[in-house]
Structure 1
Amino acid sequence: MTETDSTTDDADARTDGGGPGIVAPDDETPTWRERKERTTGLSRLTYEYFERARREDQDLRTESDYVERDVLAFPTWPHETVRNLSIAAFFTGMIFFLSATMPPHIGSPANPSSTPAIILPDWYLYWSFGLLKLGPLNPDLAILGGQKLTADRTYGVLANVVVVGVIAIVPFLNKGSARRPVEQPFWSAVGVGGVVFALTISLLAIKNLMPMNVDLLFDLTFLLPIVATTVTYAVLKTMREGYMYDLNRRYYRLRPPK
């Protein structure tokens, strides 16, 4: 084999889309009928798909003049869509498999003539149910003869409105482009405090099932989020100093627009 033949074979084996290799160039995309008539199997097509994705990513990195690490992504169609559909299909299949092999136990029907001792919503609504139990925080106004301005139930509904409103406003207040908690310690600490408060207020919702003093549980409901927020802010603020923070900041920096 001569040197010319070796060069020709290398050109035929290219997979970067520049020759008659595995992945065809963009201007030679086959039609649907042509793809239907091909005899290649699913494994071959899958390999071509990932090879094209690798080539596109490599071309983008080669053409970029940014000195730092480029944070690049793939197009939504077909790359992200195919990947997300594959993941969704896998978990859907797992759910069907578990539901078929381990069906849930169905208890006896409820007795409509008797009220249960403890009535609770679904677990993911415990935090909202706990806000309805903030009666001790409902102040008694002496100007009204010692009567409460609003009923405890109404006070709990207003507490739900306030909490949901704060959660909805936070994304509009924080419009930064930080990708890691250490870059914005304050908002990260607020997020941790909110998660801890959701947990403690959920425990307050099932206070009848908690093996501890109700007054202590009520105090911890508001004390633990403050402690978690303070500790998180202090830790993240400390992590902002040093070589590793500067190195990671350069590593995760987004490519500036051209």
Structure 2
Amino acid sequence: MTDNETKTDGSGEAQTDGGGTGIVPPDDETPTWSERKQRTQGLSRLTYEYFERARREDQDLRQESSYVERDVLAFPVWPHEMIRNLSLTSFFVGMIIFLSATLPPHLGPPADPSSTPAVILPDWYLYWSFGLLKLGPLNPELAILGGDKLMTDRMYGVVANVIVVGFIAIVPFLNKGSARRPVEQPFWAAVGMAGFAFAWTISALSIKNLIPIDSHLLFDLTFLVPIIVGTITYAVLKSMQEGYMFDLNRRYYRLRPPK
């Protein structure tokens, strides 16, 4: 039998006999770090061993009991977790380098401090906040004040920012469930998707001068699109609670201990 061949034990399960390239061996036959370092495969081999052993141990734990504590599934930080994180990091860094090399950003002319641009906008990641400042049409005119507004449109936009940020901050305290997948709590998943869609639509409203859509239609879509997205999300996830997908998720989350 050569080094690259595998053998079976009494249970019929395949094992490696030393430095083979077959299925990852059990714990008592796992090579040390120095032995792994001597192999020519390097990072690719270690990555394969991590995922293969994780799959095997996870499968064994599922078959042995109805539930297991999550910390039982932990692996040593070195080399297992470090190898996995290094693989994922290398992938995303490579994608960033590839995109920066193939699609370099366009650099416009340098800023002229002596002239004011026609359109003044904040950085793109603040468009949503800038859009909330343009909710003047929603600022009610109170008859008790003779048709005047309770606050100016600018102050109304500031209050809208406080309300939106406050709602985002309080959501974790409102939803204290143990669900880890959207299908387990469709309502909160729909709220999240509606909020995500609202961030896009309110950002589009902030640059309405640059979008070839009627401003009144864009204002209406700002609030209609999130409602539609949230409704569709809720309906889809609710339908997934019956059938194969929900059963699969429920079996997966047997890993969580019961309350």
> Normalising by structure 1, what TM-score?
0.74
- Gap change, CA 1:53 and 1:221, over 3 Å in 2: closer
Task: Find the aligned partners of 1:132 and 1:236 in 2 and give their Cα distance.
Answer: 34
Paired amino acid for 1:138: N
**1:107 counterpart SS class:** coil
The equivalences for 1:118-129 within 5 A come to: 118-129=119-130
Bigger shift: residues 243-252 or 218-227: 243-252
Alpha-carbon offset, residue 164 of structure 1: 1.3
Indicate if the aligned counterparts of 2:47 and 2:87 stay in contact, CA closer than 8 A: no
Q: Does 1:114 align with 2:112?
A: no
The equivalent residue for 1:62 is 60
1: CA distance between counterparts of 2:58 and 2:240?
33
Shift of 1:93: 4.3
| Structure 1 residues 102 and 224, CA gap change in structure 2 (3 angstroms) | closer
Does structure 2 retain, via aligned residues, the 8 Å contact 1:69–1:253?
Answer: no
Residue identity matched to 1:210? I
Provide closer, same or farther for how the CA distance between residues 150 and 248 of structure 1 changes in structure 2, counting only shifts above 3 A.
same
Q: Secondary structure at the match of 2:200?
A: helix
> 1:122-146: per-residue Cα shift (whole Å, max 9, x none)?
3222211111101111222344444
Residue 133 of structure 2 aligns to which amino acid in structure 1? L
Larger radius of gyration: 1
Q: Which stretches in structure 1 are left out of the alignment for 5+ residues?
A: none
The offset of 1:190, in angstroms, is 1.0
Map 1:1-258 to 2 at 5 A: 13=17, 15-18=25-28, 23-24=30-31, 35=34, 40-43=38-41, 47=45, 50-51=48-49, 54-55=52-53, 58-59=56-57, 61-62=59-60, 65-67=64-66, 73-75=73-75, 77-78=77-78, 79-96=80-97, 98-99=99-100, 103-240=104-241, 242-244=242-244, 247-257=247-257
What is the CA distance between 1:70 and its match in structure 2? 9.8
User: Displacement, 1:238?
Assistant: 3.4
> Counterparts of 1:76 and 1:131 in 2: how far apart (Å)?
47
Q: Distance in 2 between matches of 1:220 and 1:136?
A: 14
SS at match of 1:252: helix
Shift of 1:98: 4.7
State the AA in 2 paired with 1:250. R
The letter for the 2-side match of 1:65 is E
Instruction: Say whether the 8 Å CA contact 2:69–2:256 is kept in structure 1.
Output: no
- Percent identity, aligned pairs only, is 56
- Shift in CA distance, 162/83, structure 1 to aligned 2, threshold 3 Å: same
SS at match of 1:133: coil
C-alpha displacement of 1:191: 1.4
What CA RMSD, in Å, does the superposition of the two structures yield over aligned residues? Answer: 3.7
Listed one character per residue, the Cα deviations across residues 132-187 of structure 1 (whole Å, up to 9, x for unaligned) are 10111122234444433322222212211111111121122112222332221211
Contact 2:240–2:246 (8 Å) recurs in 1: no
**Count of matched residue positions in the alignment of Structure 1 and Structure 2:** 240
SS at match of 2:64: coil
Structure 1 Cα separation of the partners of residues 37 and 239 of structure 2: 60
